[in-house]
Amino acid sequence: MKKYALLLFLIFISTEVISQKKDKYSIWANVGGGISLSKFSKGNGGLSYNFGLSASRGKWMLALKHRNETEFILFVTPHESFKSTSVLFGLSNRMLKESSNIQLNANLLIGASIIKISERGKLIEDERWSNKYEINGSSAIGLPFEFELQLRLKNYFGFSFSVFSNINGYENLFGFGFNLLVGKM
C-alpha cells in the first residue's frame, strides 16, 4: 500500500513540471457505471452507477458526486444498496504537454459524504422463483477517496476511469468505474 501511495505522490510531483501554466477553469458533468466490490449480506460485489458535477481551476478540483452501489443477485427483492452523496476536493494534474490536442489528467480527491443504507430484514414471502424481504434503512457519514484518470478528447467531451473508496462506520465501500465527461474542459 505504501508503494502505491508513493507512486501516486511521485506522479503528481513529476507532472507539475509539464502541467498547464495558465489558470484555466473547467466545469463538466459526468455519468458512468462500474463494479462495486463492497460486501452485501448475500455475498460480495454488485453494480455501481454515478453522476456528478466537477470543476477545476489550475491544479485544484472540486466535485459533487452521487454514487449508487447495488448488489447483483437474482430472485431476491429488494436488493441491498448503498447510496452516497459526496463533496470532494483535491488535485488535478495534466499528464501531456499543453500543445497536445488530447489531454490526460490524473485527479486525486478526498471529501465528506452522507450514505443511505438499505439492507434486507425479515423474510416476508417465500416463493418458488422469488423471495421478498422487508427493507431496513439507516445512514452513515463517510470519508470518500477517489483516483481518476481522465482522457479529454475535445474541449467538451471525454472519458475517465476511476477507483473509489468510502470509509465509514457501517461498511467500507470500494470499486471502480468508467465515466463519460461532457462540458467545458
Q: What is the pLDDT of residues 110-158, one digit of tens each?
A: 999 999 988 877 777 766 666 677 778 889 999 999 999 999 888 889 9
Model pLDDT, residue 21: 52
Q: Is residue 63 predicted with pLDDT exceeding 60?
A: yes
- Alpha carbons 36 and 41: distance in angstroms, whole number: 14
Cell 503528481: give the residue: 12
- Alpha carbons 115 and 125: distance in angstroms, whole number: 28
- Does residue 13 fall inside a structural domain? no
Strand, helix or coil at 100?
coil
- Does residue 3 fall inside a structural domain? no
Q: Is residue 8 predicted with pLDDT exceeding 60?
A: no
- Does residue 137 fall inside a structural domain? yes
Q: Is residue 27 predicted with pLDDT exceeding 60?
A: yes
Kind of pairing between the strands at 103-126 and 173-184? unpaired
- Does residue 47 fall inside a structural domain? yes
Model pLDDT, residue 128: 66
**Are the beta carbons of 156 and 169 closer than 8 angstroms?**
no
User: 42-53, pLDDT tens digit by residue?
Assistant: 777 889 999 999
Model pLDDT, residue 56: 92
When pLDDT is averaged across residues 172-184 and rounded to a whole number, the result is 93
Residue 11's pLDDT band (boundaries 50, 70, 90)?
A: low
What are the φ/ψ torsions at residue 3 (nearest 5 degrees)?
-65, -40
As a 3-state breakdown, the chain gives helix, strand, coil percent values, each rounded to 5, of 10, 70, 25
When pLDDT is averaged across residues 169-181 and rounded to a whole number, the result is 91
Q: Is residue 169 predicted with pLDDT exceeding 80?
A: yes
Number of structural domains in the chain: 1
Looking at the chain, the whole-number percentage of residues with pLDDT higher than 70 is 79
pLDDT averaged over every residue in the chain = 83
The three three-digit cell numbers of residue 82, written as one number:
448503498
- Does residue 127 fall inside a structural domain? yes
- Does residue 14 fall inside a structural domain? no
88: containing domain? 24-184
| Among 167, 145, 179, 153, residue whose Cα is nearest residue 52 | 179
CATH number of the domain that residue 90 is part of:
2.40.160.20
- Does residue 7 fall inside a structural domain? no
When pLDDT is averaged across residues 148-170 and rounded to a whole number, the result is 91
- Side chain identity, residue 94: R
Model pLDDT, residue 83: 92
Model pLDDT, residue 136: 80
52 or 5: which leads in pLDDT: 52
- pTM of the full predicted structure? 0.77
What are the φ/ψ torsions at residue 15 (nearest 5 degrees)?
-80, -10
When pLDDT is averaged across residues 68-95 and rounded to a whole number, the result is 85
- Kindly give, in sequence order, each residue whose CB lies less than 8 Å from that of residue 117, ignoring residues fewer than 6 positions away: 81, 82, 137, 138, 139, 140, 170, 171
Kind of pairing between the strands at 60-71 and 81-94? antiparallel
Q: Give how far the C-alpha of residue 137 lies from the chain's centroid of Cα atoms, to the nearest Å.
A: 22
- Does residue 85 fall inside a structural domain? yes
